[in-house]
């Protein structure tokens, strides 16, 4: 059986977990797969914002656990992408409201009805993280190419292994080719070597990302977005397709274009 339930986690906060979760889920739904994205960040929900669904939430995951409604009823249907559903986190409860066994029960009750499920983990390595990972077949660890994020990614990797999960796949987010070229940012090979994980995606730094989130419009829906393409590639790799990694060199950057224009190297 192919993995269909993935937990997206990182240890450190702010590295782009929710953005990546929302985008990969959208990319797979665009291809016709039935996908549910579960926000496991109880009390600090954000996946609804990435998908632009914050005004459509009626029930959340805690209502499901309390028995107020069945899981299907709490699912929010995406308005832009057919086949995509969100199971929102509760905003007014705390992480203890969802236990690992609750997450497992919800995922198992939905498993047969969906092709893919993505669980957006809270930051940290405490119970909320463990609950998010508990129900997953596979783990996607997101890191930025910087020290604190890499160190934390290594911690969650160790914890996932201790929980008996298969070795996580690595997503390097916010890679800036200009900084790499300057020698001030670790490149993907460095990060892979340090963490010893198999790579499943490289997402370049994209200044437009904040605008996509402002609009609740995932980058994968934008044809011209480089980050969007990188995220669609991750979705394809999850489908087992052999997609080569995008060549990210600083020559595409604004600065180098500018330099070229004025005859610099």
Partner 1 sequence: MGFWPFSRKPSKDVAKQRLQVILKYDRAGLPPNSVEALKNAILNALKDFPFVDVSGVKINFPQNEREEKIELEIPVKADK
> What is the binding site for partner 1 (CB under 8 A)?
146-147, 150-151, 154-155, 157-158, 161, 180, 182-187, 190, 193-196
CA 119 to chain CA centroid, nearest Å = 8
**CB-CB contact of 16 with 203 (8 Å):** yes
Q: Minimal distance in Å, beta carbon 141 to partner 1? A: 13
**What is the rounded distance in angstroms from the CA atom of residue 218 to the CA atom of residue 207?**
14
Q: Which is nearer to partner 1, 23 or 157 (CB)?
A: 157
- Give the whole-angstrom CA distance, residue 232 versus residue 236: 6
Q: How far is the CB of 163 from partner 1 (least distance, A)?
A: 15
Is the CB of residue 74 less than 8 Å from the CB of residue 87? yes
Smaller CB separation from partner 1, 66 or 154: 154
Give the nearest distance from C-beta 125 to partner 1 in angstroms: 12
Torsion of CA 169, 146, 229, 137, to 10 degrees: 20
Instruction: Please say which residue, 1 or 261, places its beta carbon nearer to partner 1.
Output: 261
Give me 237's structure tokens. Answer: 């790799």
- Smallest separation, CB 265 to partner 1 (Å): 8
Q: Which is nearer to partner 1, 187 or 206 (CB)?
A: 187
Q: Measured from the CB of residue 228, what is the shortest distance to partner 1 in angstroms?
A: 27
Least Å distance, CB 11 to partner 1, is: 11
**Spatial distance between the Cα atoms of 147 and 166, rounded to a whole number of angstroms:** 24
Which lies closer to partner 1 via its Cβ, residue 81 or residue 157? 157
Sheet-wide strand order for 35-39: 76-77, 84-87, 35-39, 116-120, 5-9, 138-143, 169-175, 198-204
Q: Strand 169-175 vs strand 116-120: parallel, antiparallel, or unpaired? A: unpaired
Distances (CA, A) of 205 to 18, 53, 148, 253: 16, 25, 18, 10
Q: How many C-beta atoms surround the C-beta of residue 15 within 10 A? A: 26
| Closer residue to partner 1 (CB): 192 or 239 | 192
When the beta carbons of 55 and 265 are compared against partner 1, the nearer one is 265
In the complex, what is the shortest distance from the CB of residue 157 to partner 1, in angstroms, rounded to a whole number? Answer: 8
């Amino acid at each position: 059986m192919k993995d269909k339930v993935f937990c997206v986690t990182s240890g450190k906060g702010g590295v782009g977990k929710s953005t990546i979760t929302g985008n990969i889920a959208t990319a797979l739904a665009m291809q016709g797969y039935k996908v549910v994205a579960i926000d496991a960040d109880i009390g600090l929900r954000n996946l609804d914002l990435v998908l632009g669904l914050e005004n459509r939430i009626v029930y959340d995951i805690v209502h499901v656990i309390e028995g107020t409604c069945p899981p299907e009823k709490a699912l929010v249907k995406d308005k832009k992408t057919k086949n995509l559903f969100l199971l929102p986190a509760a905003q007014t409860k705390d992480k203890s409201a969802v236990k690992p066994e609750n997450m497992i029960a919800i995922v198992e009750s939905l498993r047969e009805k969906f092709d893919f499920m993505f669980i957006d983990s809270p930051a940290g390595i405490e119970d909320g993280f463990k609950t998010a990972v508990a129900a997953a077949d596979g783990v996607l660890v997101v890191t930025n190419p910087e020290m604190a994020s890499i160190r934390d990614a290594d911690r969650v990797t160790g914890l996932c292994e201790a929980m008996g999960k298969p070795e996580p796949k690595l997503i390097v987010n916010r890679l800036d080719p200009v900084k790499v070229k300057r020698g001030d940012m670790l490149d993907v090979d460095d990060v892979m070597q340090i963490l010893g994980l198999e790579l499943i995606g490289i997402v370049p730094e994209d200044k437009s990302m904040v605008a996509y989130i402002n609009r609740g419009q995932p980058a994968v829906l934008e044809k011209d977005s480089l980050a969007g393409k990188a995220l669609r590639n991750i979705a394809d790799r999850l489908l087992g397709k052999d997609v080569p990694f995008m060549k990210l060199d600083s020559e595409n950057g604004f600065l180098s274009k500018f330099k070229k224009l004025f005859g610099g190297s």
